[in-house]
Amino acid sequence: MPKAKLAAFANRITMPDLRLAPTDTGLSPTRIRIELLSGLTVALALVPEAVAFAFVADVNPLVGLYAAFIIGLITAVIGGRPGMISGATGAIAVVIVALVAQHGAQYLFAAVVLMGIIQIFVGFMRWGKFIRLVPHPVMLGFVNGLAIVIFLAQLSQFKVPGTTEASGHGAGGGEWLSGGPMALMLGLVALTMLIVWGMPRLTKVIPAPLAGIGITAILVIVLGLDVPRVGDMASINGGLPSFHIPMVPFTWETLQIILPYSIIMAMVGLIESLLTLNLVGEMTGQRGGASQECVAQGTANVVTGFFGGMGGCAMIGQSMINVKSGGRTRIAGIAAALFLLSFILFAAPLIEQIPLAALVGVMFMVVIGTFAWNSFKILAKVPMTDAVVIVLVTVVTVMTDLATAVVIGVIVSALAYAWNNARRIYANTYISDEGAKVYQINGPLFFGSSDGFSELFTVEADPDLVIVDFQMSRVVDQSALQAIEAIAGKYEEMGKLIQLRHLSRDCHRLLKKAGHLVVDSNDDPDYELAVDYNVRTGILGSH
């Protein structure tokens, strides 16, 4: 494909323009007010999510609320990206269902502690940087899939209280509201969405999501409307979480039970957290912090495991609410966690009166703002492989989980990249003044292109001196070295001399790691090819 067309495609494959106007992050009274109000909005949105995910995991609702408070507080203080919100999530909840069902909550707490240790190890090893290997089409699929998951998770609120069986991605079982109650619920959701949409056009003194929740809640309470409320899900009243060591046997058998769950939870949590880190970074213009975020998530999960929490990770929906409400510093995340704790300790009766319709309306606006609507235009313009990856990651995210979707998307993208590069290797040939045949190799030489590289040479027809020039190529891996050794062996068998030129210094280091190029052949036991490097000329010559 011509370079101009490739550049055009690159310009089209973009994330939705989520970047916000620069905001003053100095701790002025105005900034602190915005951060606190944003934190309050997030805390209100955290309550039903934490309770619902506790139901998914089949544990007490307070287990989810404690996890949301502890994880949210620790990651807000030491996390890699100010503005991110973490807490109990469905991605973690669906993993631990079988563990809780078979072994009980104490094994869950032990698994969460081990999960945190694994995440801390990943952070100290600085493996979080590998999130940059996630291609842009995978990010698009991640955004779209997660928006759909958030939308589907809200559908359970349109069911009769007490009949809903929460699920990780959908509405679960239970009876749908109908007639007047359904109409009233939809009307309140629409009212909340209208307030969230219109409030910024009137004033930005109060975050639009908070205004939507507040106005709708006041309307419902004053008019005494009979609609589902937070208290219909479960009581959120409780005390401070208490420290205790998980009551499980400290044996090899226990480790065998919890380790698989801990590894899966750790990977799922880190993938979702690091992708959210990138997305928030796109919006706020921030970079870096991946390894710090891994350590923060791990520390938070270790602590929450010792305080009876279910574990968690970054929450894309609440992070979007925070950022779009103006939260830019750590104050908002800390405030959200402390507000949530105050709800549990002091304000449970008041918070339980908030209509679920108001929170659903806010989350629907998050869905609308998160989904990459330009994907529909992009799909018809980008290469087929990128379009397939976008759709594949979106579907797998909805049908299974985010971690599986991202891994599949990365594998498909990597295979497509390898195949495309494997077809791009070719050689320009000419006869030099000294009578040598020169092969100018173009394109990367790696496992995918090694066979094509071997097919470029006409060993029998070539003169006694052959020069292979890698100035326009690059030797990447051991398969490439084997391909070079094989070609050199063929020329040696014909009694011809081969020289390798213009190999880069990093390629030279690769050759050193692989050992000097020596080929042993059963057909010619005396055969030996030694390659030395001339520092002055930059030539690898054979002799």
Domain that includes residue 394, residue range:
27-164+177-412
Let me know the angle formed at the C-alpha of 489 by 487 and 493, rounded to the nearest 5 degrees. Answer: 120
* Token code pair at residue 426: 């070719």
Q: How confident is the model at residue 160 (pLDDT cuts 50, 70, 90)?
A: confident
pLDDT at 168 over 80: no
pLDDT at 266 over 90: yes
| CATH number of the domain encompassing residue 471 | 3.30.750.24
| 516-534 pLDDT tens trace | 333 333 332 232 322 333 3
Higher model confidence: residue 492 or residue 86?
A: 86
| 130-140 pLDDT tens trace | 887 888 888 88
- DSSP letter string, 47-95: HHHHHHHHHHHTS-HHHHHHHHHHHHHHHHHH-SSTT--EE--HHHHHH
Same domain, 340 and 435: no
Residue 24 confidence (pLDDT):
54
Residue 2 in domain:
no
Same domain, 212 and 129: yes
Residue 324 in domain:
yes
pLDDT at 482 over 90: no
Same domain, 362 and 491: no
Q: What is the mean pLDDT of residues 389-397?
A: 91
Residue 205 confidence (pLDDT):
83
Q: What is the C-alpha to C-alpha distance for residues 402 and 148, in angstroms, rounded to an integer?
A: 12
**What Rg, from alpha-carbon coordinates, does the chain have?**
29
Residue 15 in domain:
no
How many domains does the chain contain in total?
A: 2
Residue 172 in domain:
no
- Name the residue with tokens 């998160």: 370
Q: How confident is the model at residue 11 (pLDDT cuts 50, 70, 90)?
A: very low
Q: Work out the mean pLDDT of the chain and round it to a whole number.
A: 82
Q: How confident is the model at residue 515 (pLDDT cuts 50, 70, 90)?
A: very low
Q: Percentage helix, strand, coil, to 5, in the chain?
A: 60, 10, 30
| 179-226 pLDDT tens trace | 899 999 999 999 999 999 998 888 888 888 999 999 999 999 999 999
- DSSP letter string, 478-489: HHHHHHHHHHHH
DSSP letter, residue 168: S
Residue 5 in domain:
no
Of 366-380, 392-406, 484-498, 524-538, the range with the lowest mean pLDDT is 524-538
Same domain, 212 and 89: yes
Q: End of a domain among 412, 444, 460?
A: 412
Q: End of a domain among 412, 435, 461?
A: 412
Q: End of a domain among 412, 443, 474?
A: 412
Share of the chain above pLDDT 70, in %: 85
Residue 58 in domain:
yes
Helix axes 505-514, 478-493, angle to 10 degrees: 80
- Name the residue with tokens 């007639």: 179
Same domain, 139 and 203: yes
pLDDT at 512 over 70: no
Same domain, 327 and 470: no
Q: What is the C-alpha to C-alpha distance for residues 469 and 68, in angstroms, rounded to an integer?
A: 59
Same domain, 51 and 110: yes
Question: Which of 166, 227, 208 has the alpha carbon at shortest distance from 327?
Answer: 208
Same domain, 288 and 231: yes
pTM: 0.74
Share of the chain above pLDDT 90, in %: 34
Same domain, 332 and 388: yes
Q: What is the mean pLDDT of residues 105-132?
A: 92
Same domain, 370 and 227: yes
pLDDT at 84 over 80: yes
CA torsion, ordered 511, 513, 515, 519, to nearest 10 deg: -60
pLDDT at 114 over 80: yes
Residue 15 confidence (pLDDT):
44
| 410-439 pLDDT tens trace | 899 888 888 888 888 899 999 988 888 999
Q: What is the mean pLDDT of residues 94-102?
A: 86
pLDDT at 148 over 60: yes
